[in-house]
Amino acid sequence: MTEFYNLKGERIFTPGPVELPDPVREVLGRQIIHHRTEEFKEAFLETRELFKRLVDDPSENFVFFASSGTGAMEASVQNFFKEGEKVIVVEGGKFGERWKELALRWGLEPVVLSLEWGESLRAEELEDLLKKHPDAVGVLLQISESSTGAYNEVREIKELLKDEDALLVADAITALGVYDIDPVEWGIDVLVGGSQKAFMLPPGLSMLWFSEKAKERLNDRAYYFSVKEELKKQKEGQTAFTPAIPLILALKVSLEMLLAVGTDKLEEKYRKMAQGTARALESLGFKLLPEKPVISLGAFLPPEGLSADELRKKLLSMGIRLAGGQGKLKGKIVRISYMGMDYLDLLQPIGALELALYEEGLLSAPKGEAVGLYLQSIAS
């Protein structure tokens, strides 16, 4: 068994938080500025302009909150729905469960469209449920269900909701900044994002974008998470409460980085990394859990006879941190995030897994075959 003596500590390949790029770290290392200043206001308004470009929508219909992603999920439930209203919740993993819990907590009546963990939404099932529940005023789902790695294609259900009152509320916490999401074009009414994912920032900042249709439903139920109050202030370059100042300043840098590449090119890059990693790991005997995988992370079942958590421990000894399973997938899968990664970064976890399998006696020699397949995949 090789001892690794990792002088550089560990690399983080988990679906949040993800590693911070140098320009982001540079901004975060500066002295704080006060938020009731022209300097902050100017930077905040510039950040808002950049965010409009990210979502390809010139409207002011979005706010940032000083919270993790769940805060913006909660805000979606509070601000656009009222007690006693019925919503359809797509529940195919831990984060779908969270929509249901939030809906119950805020007095809504969730109708659950339950999926096997790893399955993706089928438009026909939603269509049937909408027919059965014509009084439903919302459909809550994940674009990327990070606990299973399954992708839900919201564009397939756009037509179903076009003439309905129901709002499509999409948790894009591990999808925004990965997919080239144009919420208006995709038929989304509320879109939620989080800083510690593809934005490559520390946790603590969430984003909530909404459509004109959703705007008409805004209510006054929330206090800290009031979209109306925040919007009034944020349009003017201020916030209702003390903002996460360093995170806003760092978001500006991160958005500049993402937009310099282009959202279409970013999606293409993530797709290649995801496909290349899947090809490499399948050659080692891993299996992708979801039928329709996302491109922000891969959720893999380990080869027969190998414990997912032991494997993760082994990789950690090599300085590579992967994520495990959550909820009913605890101990069963390993998850590798691609968010914030460059092509060649993935050589490390793929190489480490190949080495781990050799050390476990599953390979006769670590020949770099998985690494080779990955390289071929990204070179094609």
Ligand X SMILES: Cc1ncc(COP(=O)(O)O)c(C=O)c1O
Residue 108 or 356 with smaller CB distance to ligand X: 108
Q: Which stretch binds ligand X (CB under 6 A): 120-128, 141-149, 162-170, 208-216?
A: 141-149
What is the distance of C-alpha 378 from the center of its chain?
23
Per-residue binder mask for ligand X (CB under 6 A), 142-181, x = binder: x-x-x------------------------x-xx-------
Q: Greatest CA separation found in the chain? A: 64
Beta-strand pair 206-210/190-194: antiparallel
In the bound complex, what is the minimum distance in angstroms from residue 63's beta carbon to ligand X? 16
Site for ligand X contains 16 (CB under 6 A) = yes
> What is the C-alpha separation between 346 and 295, in angstroms, rounded?
13
Residue 40 or 81 with smaller CB distance to ligand X: 81
Q: Which residue is nearest to ligand X (CB)?
A: 69
Residue 74 or 230 with smaller CB distance to ligand X: 74
Number of residues that bind ligand X (CB under 6 A): 14
In the bound complex, what is the minimum distance in angstroms from residue 8's beta carbon to ligand X? 25
3-state secondary structure at position 337: strand
Per-residue binder mask for ligand X (CB under 6 A), 203-222, x = binder: x-------------------
**Cα radius of gyration rounded to whole Å, the chain:** 21
In the bound complex, what is the minimum distance in angstroms from residue 67's beta carbon to ligand X? 8
Give the residue among 139, 166, 165 at the shortest CA–CA distance from 154. 139
In the bound complex, what is the minimum distance in angstroms from residue 193's beta carbon to ligand X? 10
In the bound complex, what is the minimum distance in angstroms from residue 109's beta carbon to ligand X? 22
Strand partners, 181: none
> What is the C-alpha separation between 227 and 77, in angstroms, rounded?
11
> What is the C-alpha separation between 233 and 103, in angstroms, rounded?
27
In the bound complex, what is the minimum distance in angstroms from residue 51's beta carbon to ligand X? 18
Site for ligand X contains 95 (CB under 6 A) = yes
In the bound complex, what is the minimum distance in angstroms from residue 237's beta carbon to ligand X? 25
Q: Are 201 and 47 in contact (CB under 8 A)?
A: no
Residue 227 or 371 with smaller CB distance to ligand X: 227
Residues 67 to 86: which contact ligand X by CB under 6 A? 68-70
Strand partners, 90: 113
Strand partners, 298: 336
Residue 40 or 80 with smaller CB distance to ligand X: 80
In the block, which residue shows the tokens 């080692």?
Answer: 284
- Measured CA to CA in angstroms, residue 88 lies from 132, 140, 290, 339 at distances of 11, 6, 22, 29
Site for ligand X contains 194 (CB under 6 A) = yes
In the bound complex, what is the minimum distance in angstroms from residue 364's beta carbon to ligand X? 38
Q: Are 168 and 154 in contact (CB under 8 A)?
A: yes
Q: Give the footprint of ligand X on this chain (CB under 6 A).
A: 15-16, 68-70, 95, 142, 144, 146, 171, 173-174, 194, 203
